[in-house]
Amino acid sequence: MTIRKNLLAMAVVLVGGGLSVFSEAEKAADAAKVPVIADAQKTETLDPKQLKLAEELLESMDMKNIMVGNMMEMIRSEVKNVSEKKAAKIQAVLTEAISWDEAKGTMARLYCEQFTGAELEELKKFHATDAGRKLAKATPVLTARSFQISQKLLAPQAQKIGQAIEGSELVGTQLPELKVQWLGKAPEFAAQPMIVEFWATWCPPCRKSIPHLNEVHAKYKEKGLVIVGISDEEEATVRKFIEQQPMDYFPALDPGGTYSQHFSINGIPHAFIVDKSGKIVWEGHPMEMKDADIEKAL
């Protein structure tokens, strides 16, 4: 299943899982007379002491891990059969993607807009209790602006997060035998490093990747690198397209998508770097390939 980037961004901050936990903790918060969240107007200036107190509150709540945990719960609810290996990869990407210094400062300002200094003191005391910790994990503070904050924090890494979720987990395995229909002369690829890319003529990011792959081909062809671009479209469609947009590497067809089914790919363009032994050593968006990734396979 393809996860939309805005869902990824919206889910990471301030959206908690576990409604039963929230309800239980919310009742405890009411009993403890924790301040009620209001849609306060943005203040022009913030008291440095109040801001520091808000940051201390967030630290005591272990907010970064809560953000990552909440995001993982959202992903698990949307993506079926997430293996432990993939879950660990996604969690690592999320942890790296969230700049806690930036997140802490942004969220601390939000808390300062919502609560007075005295209320922040009470919240800090409350979150030191068991009920407070449960409430923090369920929903720290929920406002419409929280979604904008999360989008800002994760937008630069949205593609990387999406790739971690949608990746086929084939790195480290052998490339299945390349059974495709060549549009020209078949390359000599036995014991050769390869880039195998899945693309389509109707896909704008795929079209944008072609000049980049042409450059990669020109740079590494003398070192034996073979690049194959595979589409599951009709032959006439692909031939007409490459008359307008030359592909200097080897275009091929996968009628009915039979070969691509080996990879469980959810989005294109998607590329694999394969070393001389036939082992997949990298996968992802072709525009994200680094020279170092390619050179390791040569």
Please check the confidence at residue 3 and state whether its pLDDT lies above 90: no
Average pLDDT rounded to a whole number, residues 73-84: 65
Q: What is the pLDDT of residues 55-73, one digit of tens each?
A: 888 887 777 777 777 667 7
Please check the confidence at residue 235 and state whether its pLDDT lies above 90: yes
Express as a percent the part of the chain with pLDDT over 90. Answer: 28
pLDDT of residue 141: 45
Give yes or no for a contact between 245 and 207, defined as CB atoms under 8 angstroms apart. yes
Give yes or no for a contact between 94 and 100, defined as CB atoms under 8 angstroms apart. no
> What confidence tier does 196 reach under pLDDT thresholds 50, 70, 90?
very high
Please check the confidence at residue 195 and state whether its pLDDT lies above 80: yes
Please tell me the pTM assigned to this model. 0.50
Average pLDDT rounded to a whole number, residues 106-124: 80
Distance of CA 277 to the CA centre of its chain: 29
Among 289, 10, 36, 4, residue whose Cα is nearest residue 152: 10
> What confidence tier does 159 reach under pLDDT thresholds 50, 70, 90?
low
CATH topology assigned to domain 181-297: Glutaredoxin (3.40.30)
Please check the confidence at residue 284 and state whether its pLDDT lies above 70: yes
Q: What is the pLDDT of residues 244-274, one digit of tens each?
A: 999 999 999 998 888 888 876 767 889 999 9
pLDDT of residue 224: 92
Q: Parse the chain into domains and list their residue ranges.
A: 5-166, 181-297
Q: Which of 140-154, 170-184, 227-241 has the lowest mean pLDDT?
A: 140-154
Give yes or no for a contact between 283 and 172, defined as CB atoms under 8 angstroms apart. no
pLDDT of residue 8: 34
The two tokens of residue 146 are 């929280």
Residue 202 to residue 220: CA distance in whole angstroms: 28
Q: How far is CA 290 from CA 280, 281, 284, in A?
A: 15, 12, 11
Residue 46 to residue 34: CA distance in whole angstroms: 22
